[in-house]
Homo-oligomer: A and B are copies of this chain.
């Protein structure tokens, strides 16, 4: 297999000094409301604000000295860009980040803050890939894809390892799905440690290519994304999909209203800042998308990078 539990353990040993061991939060009130016993793995507290710090660090520190010397590159408008820039700075190598010209200013500032070199491009998938190809040709940098990369997947899987160390009694794990990097790593880690655990992916209905692909048994690309969950607006990766088919038990979808309600409830009750993509697993609980209550569920709160000037509430 291109990715297994041993690779995820190796990733954990490699990146441990560079990441936070994030806390697991619980709430008696949320348990009462849901009828479940919920454990929230707070990757919103992770370095650079999301689980992406794990995969980026594993990929960057897996490179040979010769590979690393030429730097790393990627195209991303979001959390992976900042995470890769940070990992490159930790290793002392250049990072080249292609960002669409309409990227949020806060995200651009974060990437700049880690000292990466940014190349802006038109905000289309084609323009991003072309610009990235140009950067790779000019610099010889190593491409670190946000999710379609086994080193990245192995790094992302370390969050689930930690969650199961802290909560070995979980009988279900809920994980958001965008490109599938976090989900691939999570599913392989969870099933590797505890073969009878259920792994359920949760996806916005407005970007449901993973659910449709999963149920059709073949990759169906996302045509248009209509979701507030900006981290989940991508098609599933070609390397991620076979792993997801093999290790994931089901993929359920949630509505936009429910994503916003879930996000807000997490802020109100847990007193933490979670981004829309990170609230998607809890939205499945809130919307009653799990077959029955009473489970011991682990939920991966994937990130906390939110523009506080553009919250989906409080506009008066």
Chain A positions near chain B (C-beta within 8 angstroms) = 23, 44-45, 49, 264, 267-268, 271-274, 304, 308-311, 313-316
Cβ–Cβ < 8 Å partners of A315 in chain B: 314-316
- 3 smallest A-B Cβ distances: which pairs? A271-B304, A271-B273, A44-B271
* A265, B166: Cα distance in complex, Å: 30
Closest to A304 in B: B271
Do B268 and A271 touch (CB < 8 A)?
Answer: no
Do B271 and A267 touch (CB < 8 A)?
Answer: no
* A284, B272: Cα distance in complex, Å: 23
What are some 19 contacts across the A-B interface (CB < 8 A)? A44-B271, A49-B271, A267-B273, A267-B308, A268-B273, A268-B308, A271-B272, A271-B273, A272-B272, A272-B273, A308-B311, A308-B314, A309-B314, A310-B314, A311-B311, A311-B314, A314-B315, A315-B315, A315-B316
* A296, B225: Cα distance in complex, Å: 47
Return A39 CB to nearest CB of chain B, in Å.
16
Cβ–Cβ < 8 Å partners of A268 in chain B: 273, 308
Cβ–Cβ < 8 Å partners of A267 in chain B: 273, 308
* A309, B316: Cα distance in complex, Å: 8
Return A207 CB to nearest CB of chain B, in Å.
24
Cβ–Cβ < 8 Å partners of A45 in chain B: 271
* Contacts A314-B314, A315-B315 given; does A308 touch B264 at CB 8 Å: yes
Return A236 CB to nearest CB of chain B, in Å.
28
Cβ–Cβ < 8 Å partners of A314 in chain B: 308-311, 314-315
Cβ–Cβ < 8 Å partners of A23 in chain B: 23
* A304, B44: Cα distance in complex, Å: 17
Closest to A263 in B: B308
* A304, B23: Cα distance in complex, Å: 18
Cβ–Cβ < 8 Å partners of A313 in chain B: 308-309
* A200, B109: Cα distance in complex, Å: 34
Cβ–Cβ < 8 Å partners of A316 in chain B: 309-310, 315
* A315, B309: Cα distance in complex, Å: 7
Return A242 CB to nearest CB of chain B, in Å.
34
Cβ–Cβ < 8 Å partners of A309 in chain B: 313-314, 316
Cβ–Cβ < 8 Å partners of A273 in chain B: 267-268, 271-273
* A273, B273: Cα distance in complex, Å: 6
Closest to A23 in B: B23
* A304, B273: Cα distance in complex, Å: 11
Return A108 CB to nearest CB of chain B, in Å.
15
Cβ–Cβ < 8 Å partners of A272 in chain B: 271-273
* A310, B313: Cα distance in complex, Å: 9
